[in-house]
Amino acid sequence: MNEPTAHGHQSLSEHLNGTKTNTRPVVCVFCGASDGTTDVHLKAAEELAHKLHDANAKLVYGGGNTGIMGMVARTLVSLSGPDSVHGVIPHELVKHEMKRSKGGLDENVVGRVTKVNSMHERKDMMAKEVVAGGPGSGFVALSGGFGTLEELAEVTTWNQLGIHDRPVVVFNVDGYWDGLFQWLRTAVKAGFVNEDSAPIMAEAKTADEAMKALQGYVSAKGRFDLDWEKK
């Protein structure tokens, strides 16, 4: 995993403590570029997009038009318009995306697209948009693979370290993330995760629960009191 630079940590922390530039909620969704073997995951992504529309929320995501990523982006664009979706995708992945996707990255279909140079630049940009967003902003992980798990782990760790204080919500569709929450309980029992830090990662089993978790999120007591703005 690419670790953020000290400057990156400081910059994100400055966003956290600065003036909010967006009164709308900004929700970053991590999810797979595949459909899954059953349609339950696509349906959950579509339902979440409807809830984002109801909340007048802006979506920032990994910038694809395939799988669950494409479903949540296309659905929200169809409901709220292209300005409500911002995809951030590395240049190298654009080539891969164009091979797999029939519609490509048409902004009228998937919203505004920003191309960046690296995976870290992508995650940093998405996180900064969430931190600058209004009440109800945060991160939601739908079903996905290695990339989704890595992104979820990173923003959870950043929350624990005090780099940001935004909600981290795991949308556990059809028990997909049950193993993750079992690991979390095991890690607490074994002493590798503080019991007061475990609630950083909130669980939701429906799109409605995910939105309520974002709106009613309470920072965990186990977060570290670190000052990332120091030079």
Residue 213 lies in a domain: no
pLDDT at 15: 55
Residue 203 lies in a domain: no
pLDDT at 5: 46
| Whether 147 contacts 141, CB under 8 Å | no
User: Who contacts 93 (Cβ-Cβ below 8 Å, separation ≥6)?
Assistant: 63, 64
Residue 164 lies in a domain: yes
pLDDT at 14: 61
Rounded Cα distance between 29 and 27, Å, is: 6
Its domain, for residue 107, covers 22-197
Per-residue pLDDT of the chain (231 residues; tens, 9 = 90+): 344 444 555 566 565 555 556 689 999 999 999 999 999 999 999 999 999 999 999 999 999 899 999 999 999 999 999 999 999 999 888 877 666 666 677 888 899 999 999 999 999 999 999 999 999 999 999 999 999 999 999 999 999 999 999 999 999 999 999 999 999 999 999 999 999 999 999 999 999 999 999 999 999 988 987 888 765
Residue 126 lies in a domain: yes
Residue 56 lies in a domain: yes
Q: What is the CATH number of the domain that holds 134?
A: 3.40.50.450
Q: CB count, 10 Å around CB of 99?
A: 7
pLDDT at 106: 83
pLDDT at 9: 59
Residue 76 lies in a domain: yes
pLDDT at 93: 86
Rounded Cα distance between 28 and 159, Å, is: 14
CA 85 to chain centroid: 13
User: Who contacts 227 (Cβ-Cβ below 8 Å, separation ≥6)?
Assistant: 13, 162
> How many domains, in total, are found in the chain?
1
Residue 16 lies in a domain: no
Residue 171 lies in a domain: yes
